[in-house]
Structure formats: structure tokens, C-alpha cells
């Protein structure tokens, strides 16, 4: 389940291994990963072929590959089970669920794999981000299709006051707002639960019951837990999440509540519970979270 720390881990690996390399051949299937392109995978193949990779950027759970001599980028979202795998040598045999494969000039390869096809592979044009990061050290460009996605808490652009006026009267459950990528991006089900636990806030609370200071604490804790996870290479429960070189992350052992129903709370030793909010599992401590 790639959330911000997992996507950032993958991005760093791709940045290190593929920047400056030319794409000499590209193959794609007709997977629904390409559903946002009017011409399916064709637009993606046209974009990447014979261009040099200039780098990888990220906002929230979205990541994009920059290319030479164009203001269009290849935008990826890994969904539930997406992987972008780098290999120092070309993978000759076709592999299951690999929907796009690029061969680079030095003989290395890049494979976009996604069994559940919840992800996206889309061509999009870069535009000016609104709002711009503060302080405005450099102008941030983001893909046009991500214009509605909010900044993530690890970006300079994040400012909880910006969204507060719209949120303060909302009757939505706090957990649902944390997962709303238009409000704040990058937080998925795992880190939402961890941030709520650290903040002592129950996910079923209505947002309007919070003070601005509590909302800021919540976002601050989400940022903190995601930074810690990033330092561990992300969270892996199974083979679904691996970095660009196929290695798992080690943060799962550091989770306080997610997936721990029936186990003791790390703060009060009481038994942790689970409830469904908006179709998502919410793991919490009924003593520590109010």
C-alpha cells in the first residue's frame, strides 16, 4: 500500500538510477492503467521514446518522470499494488502484470508493474502550482491533472490555516478528511490511523469538533510518522510494496495501531479496536483516543 513514504522511497531510487539516461525502447500493453489517455498507452510511448529522463518528482502519492525537450511528463499513481522496478540489465522475458517496460541506453530497464491496476500512467503538461511553496525559493511546477490535489505535509507549501476556513464547519469524520487528497495529500489509511493515535483523536469525530490547534497537531503528527517511515524505507506488509530495486521497507514493526486489533495499546496496554469508517478500517485505542 504505497502512501507518501513508500512513493518517496521509490522516487529517490529512480532519481538516483535513471536520471540522465535515454529511453531507447518502450513497450506497453492495453492495461486500464492508461485509461486517462485518450489514445491509451500510445500517448505514453510517444512521450518517452528517444527522450532522456531528466528526473523524478512527487506530490502526495503521485510521482512523475520528467523528460528532455518537452513540458509534458509521465505521471504515475501506484494505487494499491503498483511497483516501478529498476534493473541494471534488461529484462528479456515478459513478466506478469508488467504494463510498461522501458529500456535505457546503458542496457538497464524500468518496469511498471501493477496486478490490481488501481494505479494510473498518464501524460500531462506541467503548470504552475497553486499555491506556491512558502518561502518562494523556486517556482513549483506540477502536472495539470494534479491541479486539484492538495500539497503534502512534507512540502513547503503546506499551511493548515489555508484549508481551515473551509473545514472548520464540516460534519465529515476526521479520518475521512485526513484521507481527502484535495485537503492534504500523501496520507493513506495506515498513516492516518497512526497520526490519529499519536494525536489522541478518534477517527469518528466530526471535523467541526476540533480546534485549529488540534488539526495542526494532527497534520504535524502525520508528517512526523511519515518522516519516520521514510527513514525506514516505508511500510511493507507483503510483497506488494518494494522500492525501485525490489527491497521491502521496515516500518511495519513500528506501527502503533494499524492492523493491531485485539493487541495491547503501546500507551495504556488496553486492547485496541477496529471500526469501519467510510468503508475503510480504522484501528484505534478507545482509552487513548477521544
Enumerate the active-site residues. 2-3, 61, 280
Any contact of residue 168 with DNA (CB under 7 A)? Answer: no
| Three-class DSSP category at 223 | helix
Any contact of residue 79 with DNA (CB under 7 A)? Answer: yes
99, 28 in Cβ contact below 8 A?
yes
- Least distance from C-beta 223 to DNA, angstroms? 17
CB burial of 19-46 (b: ≥16 within 10 Å; e: otherwise) equals: eebbbeebebeebebbebbeebbebbbe
Q: Is 119 exposed, middle or buried (0-12, 13-18, 19+ CB in 10 A)?
A: buried
Any contact of residue 99 with DNA (CB under 7 A)? Answer: no
Any contact of residue 253 with DNA (CB under 7 A)? Answer: no
- Least distance from C-beta 62 to DNA, angstroms? 7
* Site residues (CB under 7 A) for DNA, limited to 101-160: 115-118, 148
Binding-site member from 1, 23, 121, 154 for DNA (CB under 7 A): 1
Question: What is the spatial distance between Cα 237 and Cα 28, in angstroms, rounded to a whole number?
Answer: 29
Binding-site member from 34, 62, 251, 284 for DNA (CB under 7 A): 62
Q: Which is nearer to DNA, 10 or 23 (CB)?
A: 10
Any contact of residue 76 with DNA (CB under 7 A)? Answer: no
Q: Could you tell me how many helices (H) and strands (E) the chain has, helices first?
A: 6, 11
Coarse DSSP helix, strand, coil percentages of the chain, rounded to the nearest 5 percent: 25, 25, 50
CB burial of 185-200 (b: ≥16 within 10 Å; e: otherwise) equals: bbbbbbbbbbbbbbbb
Binding-site member from 16, 24, 30, 32 for DNA (CB under 7 A): 32
| Cis amide prior to 174 (ω within 30 degrees) | no
Binding-site member from 85, 98, 176, 219 for DNA (CB under 7 A): 176
Q: Which is nearer to DNA, 80 or 266 (CB)?
A: 80
How far CA 37 is from CA of 44, 123, 165, 201, in Å, comes to 8, 7, 35, 41
Binding-site member from 188, 203, 233, 234 for DNA (CB under 7 A): 188
Q: Which is nearer to DNA, 21 or 91 (CB)?
A: 91
Widest CA span of the chain, in angstroms?
59
Partners of 186 in beta bridges: none
- Least distance from C-beta 176 to DNA, angstroms? 6
- Least distance from C-beta 277 to DNA, angstroms? 9
Listed ranges 12-20, 22-30, 54-62, 154-162: which one lies at the site for DNA (CB under 7 A): 54-62
- Least distance from C-beta 50 to DNA, angstroms? 30
Number of residues counted as binding DNA (CB under 7 A): 34
Q: What's the grid cell of residue 195?
A: 497520526
Name the residues that contact DNA, by CB under 7 A.
1, 3, 32, 60-62, 77, 79-81, 96-97, 115-118, 148, 166, 170-173, 176, 179, 181, 188-190, 238-239, 278-281
Amino acid at each position: 500500500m504505497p502512501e507518501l513514504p513508500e512513493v518517496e522511497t521509490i522516487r529517490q531510487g529512480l532519481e538516483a538510477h535513471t536520471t540522465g539516461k535515454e529511453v531507447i525502447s518502450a513497450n506497453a500493453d492495453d492495461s486500464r492503467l492508461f485509461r486517462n489517455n485518450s489514445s491509451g498507452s500510445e500517448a505514453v510511448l510517444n512521450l518517452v521514446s528517444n527522450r532522456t529522463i531528466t528526473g523524478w518528482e512527487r506530490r502526495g502519492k503521485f510521482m512523475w518522470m520528467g523528460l528532455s525537450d518537452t513540458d509534458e511528463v509521465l505521471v504515475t499513481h501506484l494505487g494499491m499494488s503498483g511497483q516501478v522496478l529498476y534493473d541494471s540489465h534488461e529484462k528479456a522475458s515478459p513478466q506478469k502484470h508488467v504494463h510498461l517496460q522501458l529500456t535505457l541506453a546503458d542496457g538497464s530497464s524500468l518496469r511498471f508493474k501493477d496486478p490490481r491496476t488501481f494505479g494510473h500512467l498518464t501524460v500531462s503538461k506541467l503548470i504552475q502550482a497553486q499555491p506556491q511553496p512558502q518561502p518562494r525559493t523556486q517556482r513549483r511546477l506540477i502536472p495539470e491533472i494534479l491541479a486539484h490535489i492538495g500539497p503534502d505535509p512534507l512540502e513547503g507549501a503546506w499551511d493548515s490555516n489555508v484549508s481551515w476556513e473551509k473545514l472548520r464547519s464540516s460534519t465529515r469524520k476526521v479520518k475521512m478528511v485526513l484521507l481527502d487528497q484535495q485537503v492534504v495529500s500523501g496520507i493513506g489509511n495506515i498513516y492516518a490511523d497512526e497520526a490519529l493515535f499519536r494525536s489522541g483523536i478518534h477517527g469518528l469525530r466530526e471535523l467541526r469538533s476540533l480546534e485549529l490547534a488540534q488539526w495542526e497537531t494532527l497534520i504535524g503528527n502525520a508528517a512526523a510518522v511519515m518522516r519516520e517511515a521514510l527513514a525506514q524505507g516505508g511500510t511493507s506488509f507483503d510483497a506488494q510494496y518494494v522500492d525501485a530495486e525490489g527491497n521491502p521497507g521496515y516500518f511495519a514493526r513500528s506501527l502503533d495501531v494499524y492492523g493491531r486489533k485485539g493487541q495491547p495499546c503501546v500507551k495504556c496496554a488496553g486492547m485496541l479496536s477496529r471500526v469501519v469508517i467510510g468503508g475503510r478500517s480504522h484501528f484505534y485505542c478507545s482509552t487513548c483516543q477521544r
